[in-house]
Structure 1
Amino acid sequence: MYKLLVINPNSSEKVTNDMRDLLPQVPGIQYDFYTAPAAAPSEIDGEHAGEVSEAVVYPDLIKRKLLDYDGYLVCCYSDHPLVYSLTQSTNKPILGIMLGSLIYSVSNPRFSKSMILTSTSSWNNTLDKSILKFFKSHSFPQSMARTKSFDINVVNLNNPVVYGEIVKKVQLYLDEEPQVNCVLLGCAGMVGLDSKLAKTFPDVRFIDSVRVSAEILASLVRFETS
């Protein structure tokens, strides 16, 4: 049995509970869940908040002796600095959910073009820069659309009341980018939204970044120990 630590680097217990409820069990894999202490931001809404989050979470993981897992999933949709900090304390696989979703999108030949949908527009430019870093390119890749946002607070993304607003935004962005047939849900707070949107937009694949990254991390852990 492999043990993976699913890290919520913000202090919102709701986000952690949503992931715990909706992340499917994988044979031979045990998921443990971690929520950042109260000193961490309740919502990571940009690079500075990510840095504050890392400064709180990394020493807390060391203090609580949580560095003996077989793999680590950092559940913030960004190039979160915690991913790199963890490499100083463990040689086990570490994966951020943004990287996991991008790996999935580029490995699937059925996708003509992919687009990240994030929570708030404050992330758009930052995530676009991270896309360039991932592709090691100075020009935006043709296989990706520019990042778009719902402009909805992370803790409300799974609220049924706002689903109609989410659908309107998705339709608008798909009309603007008709080649897009893969949407990467760019926030851990969107866990479970993929299945709802798939029913509304059956011709588009919506990727839950936490679920797909958990699957990829489990594969990496098995590969590293094979």
Structure 2
Amino acid sequence: MLNIHSSLGPLDAPIKLLYINPNSTLSFTLETVTYLSESDPVPSLSPYQSLASEPIPNTETRSLRYPGVRIDFYTAPSTAPPSIDGTLHGVISTAEIIRDLKLETFDGVQELREKYDAIVVSCFSEHPLIPVLKEQFALYQGAGVMEKKVVVLGILEAGIIAALRLGPTFGIATTGRNWEPLFDQAIKTLSIDSQRYTGTRGTGFNAVSLHGDGPEEKLFEAGVELVEKGAKVIVLGCAGMAPMRQKIQDRLKSQTGQDIPVVDGVLAALDQAIQLAQSRTISQLNA
């Protein structure tokens, strides 16, 4: 059974989305809830094709930038790693979430399908939970026992898609240096022209330590280095960096004299997942 600890948006919203934090640190998820609650409905320099309008209160009297959308928040169980700091942590967290949500069973998959139109896995990596969810939904749809298709997105792919729409080149500023070769490989897997990718720069912090002035300063320095290498867009390579987006963008403009969009994969994934879910809903109504 799903352990939903926080929600945004009305219960009767036509679009329902599940936000999965695949690490076990609840405070990460709660920071995202606060971030989305406080986000401007239409950011003045939003780098996304936003669906936002005036924020609306939800059942918990919080506001949300997405009208007509309900977002439920799930955090991986305590047996999952507190931070996803590499491939092994991704595999472990996937295994723990499969057990917790019973994703190896029809009932577990059916519960997600009945409740949600879209799922966002909030880890900036090629997190194995993403293909697992897609595979399980496809398995039962292929067997003819599920009709509704559920959108599944990760924030790495969504962030890069957003960046490609915004400029000719992009770079990724992330946490540990160990992610640099992993993201280089992810770019190749996504078949992105290498000339559009200026590289990844790690800050030396992990997701757990993304607090205080130190991480923000290192993130800004990584952004400046990537701009000097030719990046016209910066992608934040960790969900925990999302609240820093506007500050980093403002500082990059002041330092470089250029308007360098900074992409937050969390908002990018939510925007894209909601758009896809709405499109599928309209298609089903017209079928």
TM-score (norm 1): 0.90
| Secondary structure at the counterpart of residue 135 of structure 2 | coil
Q: Does 1:12 find its partner at 2:30?
A: no
Q: Distance in 2 between matches of 1:217 and 1:185?
A: 18
Q: Distance in 2 between matches of 1:87 and 1:169?
A: 34
Residue identity (%): 29
| Secondary structure at the counterpart of residue 90 of structure 2 | helix
1:105 maps to what in 2?
163
Q: Distance in 1 between matches of 2:159 and 2:244?
A: 15
Contact 1:14 1:155 in 2 (8 A): no
Higher RCO (C-alpha 8 Å, min separation 6):
1
Contact 1:18 1:191 in 2 (8 A): no
How much has 1:192 moved relative to structure 2? 1.1
2:42 maps to what in 1?
none
Q: Distance in 1 between matches of 2:125 and 2:216?
A: 24
| Secondary structure at the counterpart of residue 147 of structure 1 | strand
Letter in 1 for 2:223: V
Q: Distance in 1 between matches of 2:208 and 2:89?
A: 16
Q: Does 1:76 find its partner at 2:123?
A: yes
Q: Does 1:31 find its partner at 2:71?
A: yes
CA shift digits 1:84-104 (9 cap, x unpaired) = 111233330000000111111
CA shift digits 1:83-130 (9 cap, x unpaired) = 11112333300000001111112233xx12101111111111111111
2:251 maps to what in 1?
200
Contact 2:171 2:234 in 1 (8 A): yes
Q: Distance in 2 between matches of 1:76 and 1:54?
A: 11
User: Which consecutive unaligned segments of at least 5 residues does structure 1 have?
Assistant: none
Contact 1:158 1:193 in 2 (8 A): no
Summarize the alignment of residues 136-215 of structure 1 with structure 2, pairs less than 5 Å apart: 141-175=194-228, 177=229, 179-202=230-253, 203-215=259-271
Contact 1:97 1:210 in 2 (8 A): yes
For these two proteins, the number of residue pairs brought into alignment is 219
Computing the radius of gyration from Cα coordinates, the structure with the larger value is 2
Q: Does 1:21 find its partner at 2:34?
A: yes
